[in-house]
Structure 1
Amino acid sequence: MKVLKTLLPLLFACAVSAHAALPVPPAPSVAARAWLLVDVNSGRALAENAPDSRIEPASLTKLMTAYLSFSAIKEGRLKLDQTLPVSEKAWKAEGSRMFLDPRNPAKVDDLLKGMIVQSGNDACITLAEGIAGTEDGFAAMMNQQAKHLGMTGSHFVNATGLPDPQHYTTARDLARLASAVIRDFPEFYKYYSLKEFTYGGITQPNRNRLLWTDPAVDGVKTGHTESAGYCLIASAKRDDRRLLSVVLGTASDNARASESQKLLNYGFQFYETVKLYRANQPVTKLRIYKGTSSELAAGFARDFYVTVPRGSAQRLKAQIISKQPMLAPISKGQAVATLRLTLDGQPVGDYALAALTEVSVSGLIRRAWDSLMLML
């Protein structure tokens, strides 16, 4: 079986900057234990330090609690106007609270805002019990979802982020989780831009300071315990670009905001992200043998973006790599080739191309003819 390599003209699905490329300086120094800056659309990491080291997530845990809550609403297992009982465990929750009253059931919509804006541990436990019956059962769901999202360095034991030796994650996993919240639940992500929320006559502000200082920032979550330090996941959208910074273990509330802003500014200033192909757009067509069709279109299931130094996108080169001969049957979504991108001769990345349609096995006559063609 031979590997076929073909050059491919890049099909830009949007305008590409014609400005001269800017030299990219080293990423700024960040006063934190670990950090990561990623472009949400392309998934490329633009700056990092210890992104895979195990850390205590503190209230950043609530992103997973939110993800499962949003999923329950989307699947009809929970409704925004539904009320949930407040257990004694939730009422007595330590740490930050939205001050739920065990005598008064709380609306799911209020619980979401209490969890996201006020970082209420009582809200998290109430949602967890409403979805899974117990917080322990909910933690099992959290770990299942983490596995599904590819969060290989994480383990959860509660819905709040209260310290526990077996409750941990990484900066890379948190970036993956926050990106999934933004991507999968745009209708709920808007909650993360709320600057304050009032419940029971008590108004509490969102602890994400960047919501006040940078109009491009629209989320996502702060976290703090004595052992975890001050943490912040921040996301900003400027034009069509969205960046996400994860800053963990800073020394103060001010520091987590300023260090996050530093990373976001760096990413926007020195990099650009372009959409090369639309979802389900044929990137290439491959020869197929012994199938109901002799040709197979391959591409991406989602819009495909790439992040490169600002001003350099026009110098990208693409190459298609596929194993030949390719025989039916081929399933829709099956990886059938690789798109290899280079910039000025340096590798950018290899990206799997999927079959955009299904190709079934052909009849006997077609198979016999193709067998003869392969022999020749």
Structure 2
Amino acid sequence: MAALFTAAPAAANAKYAGIVVDAKTGEVLYEDSADSPRYPASLTKMMTLYLVFEAMESGKISKNSRVPVSRNAAAEPPTKLGVPAGQSITLEQAIYALVTRSANDISTAVAEFLGGSEAKFAAMMTRKAHQLGMSSTTFKNAHGLPNSAQKTTARDMARLGIALREHFPQYYDYFSTRSFTYSGRRISSHNNLLGNVKGVDGIKTGYIRASGFNLVSSVATGGKSIVAVVMGGRTARSRDAHMADLIRRTLPKASTGSDRMLIAKGGPAGRMVASTLPKKAPIPDVRPEPAAPVVVGYAEENAPVAAAAAALSKAVAEKDEQEEIDPLPTASTAVKGWVIQVASMPSEQDARRLLAETSQEVPSVLADATPFTEVFEMKGRTYYRARFGGFAGKSAAWSACESLKKKNVACYAVQN
């Protein structure tokens, strides 16, 4: 049996970074690559919400304020709430949309509402980050969609998580929202740990291809409190399992003392109220390493993950693993004629995500192709083929596949 938590060099997953901080004392209980630059993805929305809560606390806006949705906001790619341009929603609806759906259209609408433009709001976000002591963080947008200049670190995200808890206790419960209803639709949170891991009360998930799967978790139970950050997971499930294991291993080490204010609201260089979040902490001998995704048809199925993650994996198995960047919409029925297959996956969501990533990686080759999935059974298990169709014939499909292979994308052409 392959173990999920094995010693591995940093090169095994260059996107990985993690940190766990005692939210009462600021002591670092675990860290690995915590100061290495990473893409925040939708963890960005934590800062978007920080500025929302700050404006609410000052009385500039209220939860009933109307947030207009511009044409620019409505055009943002998924995940989105889908409010048509020219309409508006209440600020509280916007908060719920950011916390649960991680809606990119609403992030931009909020940015324009509070900052006048998304660029101005991003500058406000960066200034606030630096005031809080997040010296390695730069924001260029309010949602976390790809931007090479938008960077942060696991340590900075832990600092922001603690700041949200400390500075806005009256609003922090929004992060524990597991679902809300908008326009007759029930919208569930992407945060699978809510309700599945004891003490978890938020905060935020995130994913873009460049970052991998990110998660900031807040835990409060048994008089102890921690904030944990995992960045660069290879799948949502392995990220969640890794986070659950970090919580299990570090929570017993956390303090049961009285709460202390750790993060100053502002001031020069984000002055710390206490000497906390040090730059150095012992790096553990064993790093929990996220498991690679299953790709059936090109390799054997992954061995089962370690028992330490089995309970959480079972708990979330029935939940949608949809993340902040929705996969490309796919054809509802199989496409006939010559097609290209890039992989088979254990879930339709995984297959759709791979199609989206492949389309983004080689848009010139697949600009006119139609992505779709096909279900099949093998050895009593259900799998989903990830395929592209719409080619004029065999030659066109073969030529496209050869172009993909030159981009290191495995594929083969077949007549459907």
Sort the TM-score into its range (normalised by shorter chain): 0.5 to 0.7
Partners in 1 of 2:189 and 2:137 — Cα distance? Answer: 26
Q: Do 2:192 and 2:240's aligned partners in 1 also have CA atoms closer than 8 Å?
A: yes
1:33 aligns with 2:22: no
Q: Do 2:198 and 2:221's aligned partners in 1 also have CA atoms closer than 8 Å?
A: no
Instruction: Quote the offset at 1:241 in angstroms.
Output: 1.5
Flag the 1:55–1:94 CA change in 2: closer, same or farther, 3 A.
same
Residue from 34, 44, 60 that aligns with 2:43: 60
Residue from 98, 113, 122 that aligns with 1:115: 98
Residue from 204, 229, 234 that aligns with 2:187: 204
Partners in 2 of 1:249 and 1:198 — Cα distance? Answer: 31
Residue from 217, 222, 226 that aligns with 1:239: 222
Deviations 1:259-280 (A, max 9, x none): 111111111223434249999x
Flag the 1:155–1:276 CA change in 2: closer, same or farther, 3 A.
closer
Residue 143 of structure 1 is matched in structure 2 by 126
Deviations 1:178-221 (A, max 9, x none): 11001101111101111112212222211111102123111000
Q: Letter of the aligned partner of 1:260 in structure 2?
A: M
Which has the larger strand fraction?
A: 1
Deviations 1:297-321 (A, max 9, x none): xxxx979999xxxxxxxxxxxxxxx
Partners in 2 of 1:60 and 1:100 — Cα distance? Answer: 22
Q: Do 2:46 and 2:160's aligned partners in 1 also have CA atoms closer than 8 Å?
A: yes
Q: Do 1:28 and 1:263's aligned partners in 2 also have CA atoms closer than 8 Å?
A: no
Partners in 2 of 1:173 and 1:111 — Cα distance? Answer: 25
Residue 373 of structure 1 is matched in structure 2 by none
Residue 283 of structure 2 is matched in structure 1 by none
Deviations 1:244-303 (A, max 9, x none): 110000111111111111111111223434249999xxxxxxxxxxxxxxxxxxxxx979
Written as runs of structure 1 = structure 2, the 5 A alignment for 1:210-289 is 210-275=193-258
Secondary structure of the structure 2 residue equivalent to 1:59:
helix
Flag the 1:186–1:152 CA change in 2: closer, same or farther, 3 A.
same
Partners in 1 of 2:57 and 2:82 — Cα distance? Answer: 27
- Tell me the matched-pair count: 259
Partners in 1 of 2:44 and 2:276 — Cα distance? Answer: 28
Flag the 1:103–1:260 CA change in 2: closer, same or farther, 3 A.
same
Instruction: Quote the offset at 1:77 in angstroms.
Output: 1.5
4+ runs of 1 displaced by more than 3 Å? 27-32, 270-273, 275-279, 301-306
Partners in 2 of 1:261 and 1:69 — Cα distance? Answer: 29
Residue 21 of structure 1 is matched in structure 2 by none
- For normalisation by structure 2, the TM-score amounts to 0.59
Partners in 2 of 1:276 and 1:86 — Cα distance? Answer: 40
Flag the 1:61–1:305 CA change in 2: closer, same or farther, 3 A.
closer
Flag the 1:187–1:28 CA change in 2: closer, same or farther, 3 A.
farther
Secondary structure of the structure 2 residue equivalent to 1:197:
strand
Instruction: Quote the offset at 1:165 in angstroms.
Output: 1.0
Seq. identity, %: 32
Instruction: Quote the offset at 1:28 in angstroms.
Output: 8.5
Secondary structure of the structure 2 residue equivalent to 1:187:
coil
Partners in 2 of 1:273 and 1:221 — Cα distance? Answer: 25
Q: Do 1:241 and 1:273's aligned partners in 2 also have CA atoms closer than 8 Å?
A: yes
Gaps of 5+ in 1: 1-26, 280-300, 307-376
Partners in 1 of 2:32 and 2:57 — Cα distance? Answer: 35
Partners in 1 of 2:259 and 2:149 — Cα distance? Answer: 42
Partners in 2 of 1:106 and 1:199 — Cα distance? Answer: 10
Flag the 1:197–1:278 CA change in 2: closer, same or farther, 3 A.
closer
Partners in 1 of 2:114 and 2:246 — Cα distance? Answer: 36
Written as runs of structure 1 = structure 2, the 5 A alignment for 1:147-186 is 147-186=130-169
Residue from 54, 68, 87 that aligns with 1:104: 87
Q: Letter of the aligned partner of 2:20 in structure 1?
A: L
Structure showing greater Rg = 1
Deviations 1:39-75 (A, max 9, x none): 1111111000000000000000000000001001111
Secondary structure of the structure 2 residue equivalent to 1:186:
coil
CA RMSD of aligned residues (A): 2.5
Partners in 2 of 1:189 and 1:248 — Cα distance? Answer: 22
Residue 333 of structure 2 is matched in structure 1 by none
Partners in 2 of 1:276 and 1:218 — Cα distance? Answer: 17
Instruction: Quote the offset at 1:227 in angstroms.
Output: 1.3
Residue 74 of structure 1 is matched in structure 2 by 57
